[in-house]
Every structure is written in C-alpha cells, then in structure tokens.
Amino acid sequence: MSIRNLLFIFALLLNTACSSDLFISHNGDVPDERYMKQLSIGQTKEEVLQLLGDPSLVTGLSNDHWIYMSSTIRRIAFEKPTELDREVVAVTFKDNKVSRIDKRTLADANKISIDKDETKATEREQGFFRKYFGGVGQYQMFGNGKSNKDM
C-alpha cells in the first residue's frame, strides 16, 4: 500500500469523524390560528383557558399575564444554535377579563422595548444579623409547630 493510499484513507476517516448532524427542535406550543381568531377582548380567564389551554408561562404578581410561546431551533454539530422561527402570544387580563392581546414573531425580536416600571419589595429592609442569623433556633422538625411532647 502506497503512502498516497494511506493518506487518502486517513483523510477519509478524519472527514467522517466530524459530525454534520442536523437537529431541528421545536419548543413550546402556540394554539392554532383558528382558536386564536376566537380570542377577543373581554373574555374571562376561564374562557381563555378552555379555548387556548394552559399557557406556557404565567407572569406578574397577580397572574394577569399569560404567555403562549413556541420556537424552532436548528442545531448543527458544534455550531451555535440558530433560531429559525418564534411565535409569542401575550394575553393580559384586568379584573379577570382579557384587556390586551399581543402577537410577536421572530421578526419583531428587536422591536420589543424594555418596560421601566419597578416593583417595590414588600418586605422591610433587614440588617445583616437578622438577614443571615434570623432563623437560628426556629427549626421545626416536622413543620407543624408542635413539639413531640404536645402529641
């Protein structure tokens, strides 16, 4: 066997060792368009739940922001994953009724503005010792607040 044949076989093996596997993954679920057309301002949370199903994400302190989202991502071997498609539907409720419906796609990704509103913390500011040592001695083995002699 000549050196040229050995180099050819080595190059062939080296080339086949590199993976060119292509993976397309679909994450999340946005309801079908026929159901989205039935969604309207003024519907209750229960009606939206029956129509669209459970949301992908519920946000906000009062659970008044429901988000349905999906994305399609392409992965090739060791390359950085590429997002091929994205769809987001945000449903906002006020007084248990739909007050706003926002639809976004991957093309809208750079058009989303940051909301400057702040949520104030409801707990008071704690000092160093209370923050790190405030729970010392308050351990309850079974979590019901009763000691073994009370039982």
Whole-number Å distance between alpha carbons of 21 and 39 = 40
Output the CA torsion sign for 89, 90, 92, 96: positive
Q: pTM surpassing 0.75?
A: no
- DSSP reduced 3-state for 111: helix
* pLDDT for residue 65: 92
Residues with Cβ within 8 Å of residue 42, at least 6 apart in sequence: 97, 98
Domain residue spans in the chain?
30-109
Please, which residues have CB within 8 angstroms of residue 86's CB and are 6 or more apart in sequence? 69, 70, 71, 72, 104, 105, 106, 109
* CB 84 within 8 Å of CB 27: no
- Sign, CA dihedral 110-59-67-64, equals negative
The pLDDT of residue 93 is above 60: yes
Fold category of 30-109 in CATH: Beta-lactamase Inhibitory Protein; Chain:B, domain 1 (3.30.1450)
What is the per-residue pLDDT for 48?
A: 94
DSSP annotation of 68 reads: E
Which amino acid belongs to residue 136?
V
The tens digit of pLDDT for each residue in 31-78 reads: 888 999 999 999 999 999 999 999 988 987 778 899 999 999 998 877
